[in-house]
A and B are shown apart, each in its own frame.
Chain A
């Protein structure tokens, strides 16, 4: 616990502080720039992009060694990964647009083939004399042990640029995500905006490769936006909430991982993000599971109350236990099931409202207002007091009837 706190306060050493800062920045950039891909319902394109970076890393290493370098220059490797990631991106887009294959097939094909080529290149590198200690495998799952100040700078600069680009492109990207036809009709180049959207994701993937690895960076691009979506209905806010969630997950994850041995940073960050997702899934105010359950219970209660009152008005026996419980809790029936004074009054009101609705349907033949009848909405919410009075006058009061009664 003490370790965790000191890591949280950036007091656990230079490397830990560097990793925590870098992870938080990366999380923010990934969350914000992954949002539009999620809103466009193409979240898994990021999976293809991430896997397509591997051959680039291998090729860049081979090229740099062939040119007489040491081959481990981070910027060189990242540039190589960006090249093949862009190629993979264009291929996904090309396959989905030009052939009859659907986008998910294109994603899967690019992902597996590029990854396969990457593995082939890694085995080639292992046989090169310079490649034995290349440590390129760390790009699969990321590694924070040897994180340098230079790596943090790459993340900070790249992440800032990505967030800035997201901010500048937020309007066209929102438009394309929600209504591509309208965007095209108003003169936006949908294809280019789509490519920009995916290009941003690609940039974040590349800068995050070293820290969390190419398999888990996908999680940082998808999970925070999905989580943020639970908390708001406004696209503009999803971006920043996703960024904040990603940043928190990155920072907390790095701190937890620094607090004990054998806690790899990448997976911990992903699991923290998944924990935030789970919390939101359950607790979010409007879209959460708990809120939905509460809504359902409230609705159920209203239906039972209404049906119980109607039964009382018609002097029918109530057999349903839950209905009796609801009515008893409100003091509308006695424990033996007989209506109280308040119960009879409420029942009479409900029965009269049903008659008023009948009249309303005769008066308003279109369904605009009477269509709002669902058996639960009080008539006072649909019609004004004057209109209800008009219905009542047509309904009439109690009248003497002929005969012996």
Chain B
């Protein structure tokens, strides 16, 4: 746990943790509003977003990619709403139609354009490249105080840190509004809260978190972190404040354990190569959710009779 750790594992682990927390926080409200699959939809449409951004700008620079992905997420949300209203189709099916179509369009455009010179492909989009975000200039813990080495930190770390901070601030500022409109939309409307705007704002925040996290860790972690830690936290407590805290704990735990298992787990079994950290983080979050489903103190539905539970 010395210099090598700082150079190879510290930044990926931090990025994983920040990404997990940034996604888990809005995830709490998405779960309570029964919009959990918005995260799924957003992470699928990020692909066409970044492909189009690449076509327009011709580079894989971060900012256009982020803008493209955010734009695609917005387009998807508008399309889902339009299909729902115009075709009178239930939300799940409208979502399914929209994101699969956009994803297919993304794959098609990707195949049609020559992206062999840049690192842009579907598998990368799905799995991310957490392991490659290493801190080359670090020589040990002392580098944390060395401005030259700090300047060479991967850009992804700065971006996800900013987004994570933004999500935290937004959540603190709009806490009461979010809480009221999530639990009692009618009441929120009656006391004059902009309910529609709050809902859209939440989805937009989730999209920003998804896009920033996606950039670093791929879409699997994004979906898993939107849903698994908040869902597990939901089974542990009845208070929203505690649920959010627990979801952060679970998110951090998944990121750390997942990264460690992916990096060092195979060594324990005598294998040389690490496995996908993104996949492992998702798997660990699933195990946590599974444990919560089995042993969480508030796991069953209120008012369910004993026979039904058994």
A interface residue numbers (CB < 8 A to B): 38, 41-44, 46-47, 95, 98-102, 104-105, 107-109, 111-120, 122-124, 126-127, 137, 140-141, 215-216, 218-219, 222-223, 225-226, 229-230, 262-264, 266-268, 270-271, 274, 277, 281, 287, 289
Are B293 and A112 in contact (CB-based, < 8 A)?
no
* B93 contacts the other chain (CB 8 A): yes
A108 in contact with B108 given A117-B282, A122-B276 (CB within 8 Å): no
CA distance A289 to B87 in the complex (A): 7
Are B97 and A105 in contact (CB-based, < 8 A)?
no
Are B127 and A119 in contact (CB-based, < 8 A)?
yes
A215 in contact with B100 given A98-B309, A100-B234, A271-B108 (CB within 8 Å): yes
Are A107 and B299 in contact (CB-based, < 8 A)?
no
Are B286 and A116 in contact (CB-based, < 8 A)?
yes
Given A41-B92, A43-B96, 15 extra CB contacts under 8 A: A43-B90, A44-B92, A95-B293, A98-B293, A100-B301, A104-B36, A105-B234, A109-B289, A112-B40, A112-B282, A115-B282, A123-B274, A216-B100, A222-B93, A271-B101
List, in ascending order, chain A residues with CB within 8 A of B97's CB. 219, 222-223, 226, 274, 277
* B241 contacts the other chain (CB 8 A): no
Are A271 and B104 in contact (CB-based, < 8 A)?
yes
* B160 contacts the other chain (CB 8 A): no
CA distance A102 to B31 in the complex (A): 8
A281 in contact with B87 given A104-B37, A113-B286, A267-B107 (CB within 8 Å): yes
Are B279 and A44 in contact (CB-based, < 8 A)?
no
List, in ascending order, chain B residues with CB within 8 A of A225's CB. 93
Are B302 and A100 in contact (CB-based, < 8 A)?
yes
Are A101 and B235 in contact (CB-based, < 8 A)?
yes
Are B228 and A99 in contact (CB-based, < 8 A)?
no
Are A118 and B234 in contact (CB-based, < 8 A)?
no
Within 8 A of A (CB), among B242-288: 262, 266, 271-276, 278-283, 285-286
Interface extent on B, as a size class?
35 or more
Are A109 and B228 in contact (CB-based, < 8 A)?
yes
Are B282 and A47 in contact (CB-based, < 8 A)?
no
CA distance A231 to B107 in the complex (A): 30
Nearest A-chain residue to B105, judged by Cβ: A271
A108 in contact with B279 given A38-B93, A230-B87 (CB within 8 Å): no
List, in ascending order, chain B residues with CB within 8 A of A117's CB. 279, 282-283, 286
B27-41 interface bits toward A, Cβ cutoff 8 Å, 1 = contact, 0 = none: 000010011110110
Are B34 and A141 in contact (CB-based, < 8 A)?
no
Are B112 and A99 in contact (CB-based, < 8 A)?
no
Cross-chain contact of A44 among B88, B95, B273, B286 (Cβ < 8 A): B95
Are B226 and A108 in contact (CB-based, < 8 A)?
yes
CA distance A102 to B235 in the complex (A): 12
List, in ascending order, chain A residues with CB within 8 A of B276's CB. 119-120, 122-123
Are B283 and A116 in contact (CB-based, < 8 A)?
yes
Are A98 and B300 in contact (CB-based, < 8 A)?
yes
Cross-chain contact of B298 among A100, A102, A281 (Cβ < 8 A): A100
Shortest distance between the CB of A198 and any CB in chain B (Å) = 14
- Provide 21 A-B residue pairs closer than 8 Å at the C-beta atoms, listed in order of the A residue: A38-B93, A42-B92, A44-B93, A101-B293, A102-B34, A105-B231, A113-B224, A115-B220, A118-B279, A119-B127, A119-B282, A127-B273, A140-B126, A222-B96, A223-B100, A263-B108, A264-B111, A267-B105, A271-B104, A271-B105, A274-B101
Shortest distance between the CB of A320 and any CB in chain B (Å) = 28
List, in ascending order, chain A residues with CB within 8 A of B94's CB. 226
List, in ascending order, chain B residues with CB within 8 A of A215's CB. 44, 100, 103
Interface centre among A215, A218, A230 (most CB of B within 10 A): A215
Nearest A-chain residue to B96, judged by Cβ: A222
A127 in contact with B271 given A102-B34, A112-B220, A117-B283 (CB within 8 Å): yes
User: A-B pairs with the 8 shortest C-beta distances?
Assistant: A116-B282, A113-B286, A119-B279, A219-B100, A112-B224, A270-B104, A267-B104, A222-B96
Are A99 and B301 in contact (CB-based, < 8 A)?
yes
A120 in contact with B283 given A100-B298, A100-B301, A111-B40 (CB within 8 Å): yes
Cross-chain contact of B107 among A122, A141, A222 (Cβ < 8 A): A141
Cross-chain contact of A219 among B86, B88, B96, B293 (Cβ < 8 A): B96
CA distance A118 to B127 in the complex (A): 11
B97-129 interface bits toward A, Cβ cutoff 8 Å, 1 = contact, 0 = none: 100110111011001100000000011001100
Interface centre among A107, A116, A267 (most CB of B within 10 A): A116
List, in ascending order, chain A residues with CB within 8 A of B302's CB. 100
Shortest distance between the CB of B123 and any CB in chain A (Å) = 6
A108 in contact with B301 given A47-B96, A274-B97, A281-B86 (CB within 8 Å): no
List, in ascending order, chain A residues with CB within 8 A of B278's CB. 116, 119
CA distance A162 to B143 in the complex (A): 61
Are A262 and B112 in contact (CB-based, < 8 A)?
yes
